[in-house]
Chain A
Amino acid sequence: MAKTILDTILEAAAQHRARRVIAAKLRVGKLTMLNPEQLVFWVRTFAEDSIARNIEIEVEEVEARVRCGACGYEGPIVVGEDPFYHVMLPLLTCPRCGGVDTKLLGGKELEVKNLEIDVENLGGGKPA
């Protein structure tokens, strides 16, 4: 996953003829079950031999949201706690009516939102 993210960053940077990638902002949905710290660590590790060396990464975590086909509820999901197992289970049933006809609106994002890059000098000194 970290490699794929870095590839996406480098591809976007190349499209803008970046000399260096200084920072990146990622949007990571909570249902991707990715650990932001681990992700940042590995992206930076893989980036060491690239123009994204020493990149600063900011992660925006996105909450999971559903829309219920039965009662029209639109909002966050419930994360159920099971008293027997002491686990946190993300439940996709409607938090209001318990219906199973739900559509996931968000929470699975894995997106490179923006990049701060150093571009090649466009010529003629500092920009106006």
Chain B
Amino acid sequence: MVNLHETGHESGASCTIEVGKDVLEVNRRKAEENRRIFDEHNIRAFDIMGSIGSGKTTLISRIVEKMGKKKNVSVIACDLTTSIDSNRIKASGATVIQINTGKECYVDASQVNKALNKLDLGSVDMLFIENVGNLICPADFPLGTEARIVVISTTEGPYTVVKHPYIFQESQVAIINKKDLAQVMGVPIEQLKRDIQRINPAISVVETNALTGEGVTQLLKTLNIDME
């Protein structure tokens, strides 16, 4: 529908055009394309989001170690400028592709799509995408994974969940890491769990200590990852 009206200019006219374009649609479509690629190659893909220093990298390293030779695990590590995380994960034995997001505070489906070209998709069984340390922006940018996981830790204090409700609404699994430090921090894990479940009753919550690996088996069970 176009409305034409004169503006008083000597040439040209101004008009109103209906656009109706969803700004995030582009990312959503790319995410769906990624999902099709994963399904086609039987790849179980997971988006690991979480706060800075929450333990995402350590958790991924533990999972890779547990999978051992049984499954081919690849990781896409996303960070502003460094390859610190990817070096750590490589040491555990996974193939790692690095995406440097620069000043963007999240990774988008298009960047993931390009990174997939660097993997031998036919041989990959599982893919973990380690998102940028951030509890805000990634929520709006699905990547096409089968599940989105958000990791927080007890050392962030008792209000992390209620201050960032949206990322918990977008996720299927929440991990409360550094459970061994809850007491020292005076952070009641049960309260964090209650906060999470109030915001998203459908989410599964797993408590972990990524340094020792405690809770990782439970996490894999929650994700229906077969260890056989």
Contacts and interface: CB of A to CB of B under 8 A. Distances in A.
Contacts of A117: 14-17
Interface stretch (B76-84, B115-123, B196-204, B213-221): B196-204
A120 B16 contact: no
Contact of B12 (A4, A19, A80): A19
A116 to B, nearest CB: 5
A91 B18 contact: no
Given A4-B23, A22-B14, A121-B12, A93 B201 contact: yes
A47 B40 CA distance: 41
B184 interface: no
A119 B14 contact: yes
Query: Size class of B's contact patch?
Result: 20 to 34
B19 A114 contact: yes
B190 interface: no
Contacts of A121: 11-13
B19 A118 contact: no
Contacts of A92: 169, 199-201
Contacts of A89: 162, 165, 198-199
Given A32-B140, A117-B14, A12 B162 contact: no
A110 B22 CA distance: 6
Contacts of B12: 19, 118-121
Given A19-B12, A127-B4, A113 B198 contact: no
Interface string B171-209: 000000000000000000000000000111110000000
| Secondary structure class of chain B's binding surface, majority of residues | mixed
A3 to B, nearest CB: 10
A79 B34 CA distance: 34
B202 A100 contact: yes
B7 A118 contact: yes
Interface of A: 1, 4-5, 8-9, 12, 16, 19, 22, 31-33, 80, 82, 85, 87, 89-93, 100, 109-122, 126-127
Given A8-B23, A87-B162, A114-B18, 16 more contacts: A5-B23, A9-B19, A87-B163, A90-B169, A111-B20, A111-B22, A113-B18, A114-B19, A115-B16, A116-B15, A117-B14, A118-B9, A118-B12, A119-B14, A119-B15, A122-B13
Interface of B: 4, 6-7, 9, 11-24, 136, 140, 159, 162-163, 165-166, 169, 198-202
16 contacts: A5-B23, A87-B162, A87-B163, A89-B198, A89-B199, A92-B201, A110-B24, A111-B21, A112-B21, A112-B23, A114-B16, A114-B17, A114-B18, A115-B17, A117-B17, A122-B13
